[in-house]
Chains A and B, each alone.
Chain A
Amino acid sequence: MASGESITLTATRYSPEADVEPWLQSYVIPYREDMVVLDALNYIKSYVDGTLSFRWSCRMGICGSCGMTVNGTPTLTCASFLRDFFPGEIVVEPLANFPLVRDLVIDMSDFMHKLGMVKPWIIRDRDKPVTEGEYRQTPAQLEEYQQYSQCINCMLCYAACPVYAMEPEFLGPAAIALGRRYNLDSRDEGALDRLKVLATSDGIWDCTFVGECSVVCPKNVDPAKAIQQTKVDTTIDWYKQHLLPWMRR
């Protein structure tokens, strides 16, 4: 139902063919209290300015496509209501720390590369023949890694991470959390393989435990916890190896 009120939404505009650097454009659009920022962007795209570019898909916090910076905070625009800002202005910018492609669209190649680095799949020394049945798991074993399997690859944690902002080599919160997710999976045997990527100076040891990744995560994955736990495990292994070599796992 239309309330007759309006709200101002300012969005980053950038066209690599025409612009030297990004600039801001403001739009005044009808306000409804049940609208989210993504609805507002789609309203602009449909009725005001069809040239505005942004990524989105599911509109329900599952696909992880519509992450943008809303009034300075990395957030899913499909989960960010206009009423939380009304009657103030809303400023929508692309996710920080990524190269800009156009308007609100960032280049996610680096993130995709890093996700692949941690081998986010079940690694087995020897696959069981199908005739031997499935790999069974107890609820407790599922609980071990389930929290880390909720990641939707929205990249908000990378946009919020001050270490990634300074050091693009940093493996980053989501990739490390995903690596830990598979290392904790009782069906997996690839932990040592993944540690070659995780336990490096560009991996867990680059993290200074600022914790912003966990603050902005829309799925409560808590990547900061994953990083800290991996540091603890790696350290215990190191001390076992050097002080108690006969006790090493």
Chain B
Amino acid sequence: MQIQRDMATHGEKDVDRIEPFWWGLFAAGGGIAAMFAPMQILLQDLLGNAGVPVATSSYRRARRLAANPLVRMYLFALTSLSLVHWAHRFRYYVMDLGVTGARRQIALVCYGTAIAGSLDAARIVLRLPGRAR
């Protein structure tokens, strides 16, 4: 039980200029991960493998679908925003676990991982052939 506590109070601080940017991507990532990731897994992995004739039931059909620029943009958004969502949530989980120091470094590792994963996703999506073979 605390008898004394260093009550730092809330000092005058500048408005956080960068946090809304990350939080916006986090919120968008949460929405897209919650809505589209389960649908993607259901269509691509479960139904397709169960023999249901969905658009992704064969590699050839999936490739044909991925030739569409809109589908590529969707695949990139699904991957990158989900990664940013993870990064932001994980950064706060670390704080909830009691790690209060090294905030800048933790943020760097979390968002850095998401950015690296997003760049890799962009590379893969861009290298997909434009026309199904």
Which chain A residues have a beta carbon within 8 Å of chain B's beta carbons? 12, 14, 16, 21-22, 93-94, 96-100, 107, 109-110, 113-114, 117, 162-163, 166-171, 175, 195-197, 199-203, 205, 208-210, 231-232, 234-239, 242
Contact = CB atoms under 8 A, between A and B. Distances in A.
A234 B93 CA distance: 22
Contacts of A197: 10
Contact of B3 (A21, A234, A239): A21
A79 B19 CA distance: 39
Contacts of A196: 15
A98 B13 contact: no
A166 B97 CA distance: 10
A202 B13 contact: yes
16 contacts: A22-B3, A96-B2, A99-B4, A100-B2, A163-B96, A168-B8, A170-B10, A175-B10, A203-B10, A203-B13, A209-B92, A210-B96, A231-B23, A235-B20, A238-B21, A239-B21
Contact of A93 (B1, B9, B20): B1
B23 A200 contact: no
A208 B96 contact: yes
Contacts of A236: 24
Nearest to A195: B15
Chain B interface, DSSP helix/strand/loop, else mixed: loop
Contacts of B16: 199-201, 203, 205
Contact of A205 (B5, B19, B24, B100): B19
A231 B30 CA distance: 15
B10 A169 contact: yes
Contact of A12 (B1, B7, B10, B98): B1
